[in-house]
Amino acid sequence: MSDPSVDLASLLCSRLCHDLLSPVGAMTNGLELLAEEKDPEMRKRCMELLEQSARTSADKLKFFRLAFGAAGGFGDSVPVEEPRALVDALVGEGGRITVNWSLGTPALPKPAVKVLLNLAHIGIDALVRGGTLDIGAEQRGGASEIVVRAAGPRIAFDPTIGQALDGSLPRAELSSRTAPAWMLHELAARQGGGLQFALTEEALVMGAVLPEA
């Protein structure tokens, strides 16, 4: 008999490995090219690509450490500057996605930060042609309230991710793609909170209310 907690952890690890494969693979390819390349300008270009890939890998590791892991370096709450910096780094400086922030609290409980980061990640994945990512968070009435809105010319949102968010996806159908959304559903349910999402042709809007434990 399989253990649901172990299965979920395995799927989250698979998602992490999938997202890290590209930048780590680029580093490997860059090192191979650097070993063979003799032209100074090309070697300089290889070094720039290696630095970029290393930075991308480090940014993703930091992101997933807080989004999926225990984040042992923090207490019960996390300053909002931390998730903000992680999302901004994940989006990068290419200009494809513009992130707008509205943070009405200096810190959020760890579960709320996990929800914020994972909803932001879902929003980033949905903006396949770029767009705007609006992220808001505040604490009110003993609960953390989070909203993420992804708007762009084309919204790519897998319906099974929506099913995982609202808990209607059968556990047997979970995959590495839907595991983060299922984790958010479980986290919110255990705290007596809930998740919502709405999808139109122009935007994907996701929200969460998490009462303090």
- Spatial separation of the C-alpha atoms in residues 154 and 144, rounded to whole Å: 30
**Residue 6: predicted pLDDT:** 72
Per-residue pLDDT tens digits for 84-131: 999 999 998 667 999 999 999 999 999 999 999 999 999 999 999 999
- Domain containing 101 equals 4-211
Q: For the range 92-96, what are the long-range contacts, defined as Cβ-Cβ under 8 Å and sequence gap of 24 or more? A: 92/56, 96/127, 96/130
**Residue 73: predicted pLDDT:** 63
Check residue 81 and report its DSSP letter. H
**Residue 93: predicted pLDDT:** 63
Q: How many domains does the chain have?
A: 1
Backbone angles phi, psi at 97, to 5 degrees: -125, 130
pLDDT grade for 23, boundaries at 50, 70 and 90: confident
Q: Domain holding 75: CATH number? A: 3.30.565.10
Q: What percent of the chain has pLDDT over 90?
A: 58
**Residue 1: predicted pLDDT:** 42
Average pLDDT over residues 23-40: 80
- Spatial separation of the C-alpha atoms in residues 50 and 177, rounded to whole Å: 28
What is 146-178 written as a DSSP string? EEEEEE-S-----HHHHHHHHT-S-GGG--TTT
CA atoms within 13 A on the CB side of 150: 24
